[in-house]
């Protein structure tokens, strides 16, 4: 396993145009997520009313699709993912899919038996204007 981590870390620093070092890492990580999702069975769920609406998805991996958000620049929103596979000592891995204006970042705020809280931040200069796909993996 450490060899794989070394390869991904080294790939992250490959020289190239347009910050390709991030693209290489993202491409490899997303390929890994796809393989894990195939093995574990991925679920999907969509928020019902707002960017802060809690969702329930009882799978080890999945995608939460948010409502179309207009979260302001440099603002944050939190929502809870209820999941029966989550324990208080679980590790939650997140990655985001967003094709609108601005830039989205995701973090896990807290983990408890049966749920975790996602912090979605708009770290760009414009309001969000699309849905966000929040991919997660419970370890």
pLDDT tens readout for residues 52-76: 999 999 999 999 999 998 999 999 9
Dist. CA 128–CA 18, nearest whole Å: 23
Share of the chain above pLDDT 70, in %: 73
Dist. CA 100–CA 128, nearest whole Å: 7
Is the separation of the CB atoms in 128 and 122 below 8 Å? Answer: yes
Pairing of strands 42-46, 61-65: parallel
Q: For 42-138, CATH number?
A: 2.60.40
The reported pLDDT for the residue numbered 41 is 72
Is the separation of the CB atoms in 119 and 137 below 8 Å? Answer: no
Is the separation of the CB atoms in 99 and 87 below 8 Å? Answer: no
Q: Which strands form 55-56's sheet, in the order they lie side by side?
A: 55-56, 76-82, 115-122, 104-112
Over residues 91-119, the pLDDT tens digits come to 999 998 888 888 899 999 999 999 999 99
The reported pLDDT for the residue numbered 101 is 83
Whether 10 shows a pLDDT value over 80: the answer reads no
Instruction: Return the minimum-mean-pLDDT range out of 35-49, 83-97, 119-133.
Output: 35-49
Tell me phi and psi for residue 100, to 5 degrees: -95, -165
Residue 28 binned pLDDT confidence (cut-offs 50, 70, 90): low
Whether 129 shows a pLDDT value over 50: the answer reads yes
The residue assigned the tokens 């009882």 is 58
The reported pLDDT for the residue numbered 31 is 73
**Residue ranges covered by each domain of the chain:** 1-40, 42-138
């Amino acid at each position: 396993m450490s060899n794989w981590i070394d390869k991904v870390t080294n790939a992250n620093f490959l020289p190239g145009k347009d910050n390709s070092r991030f693209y290489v890492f993202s491409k490899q990580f997303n390929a890994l997520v796809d393989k894990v999702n195939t093995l574990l069975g991925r679920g999907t769920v969509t928020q019902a009313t707002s960017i802060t609406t809690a969702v329930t998805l009882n799978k080890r991996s999945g995608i939460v699709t948010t409502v179309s958000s207009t979260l302001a620049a440099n603002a944050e929103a939190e929502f809870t993912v209820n999941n029966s596979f989550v324990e208080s000592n679980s590790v939650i891995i997140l990655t985001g899919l967003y094709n609108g204006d601005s830039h989205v970042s995701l973090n896990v705020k807290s983990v408890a038996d049966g749920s975790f809280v996602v912090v979605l931040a708009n770290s760009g200069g414009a309001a969000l204007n699309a849905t966000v796909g929040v991919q997660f993996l419970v370890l």
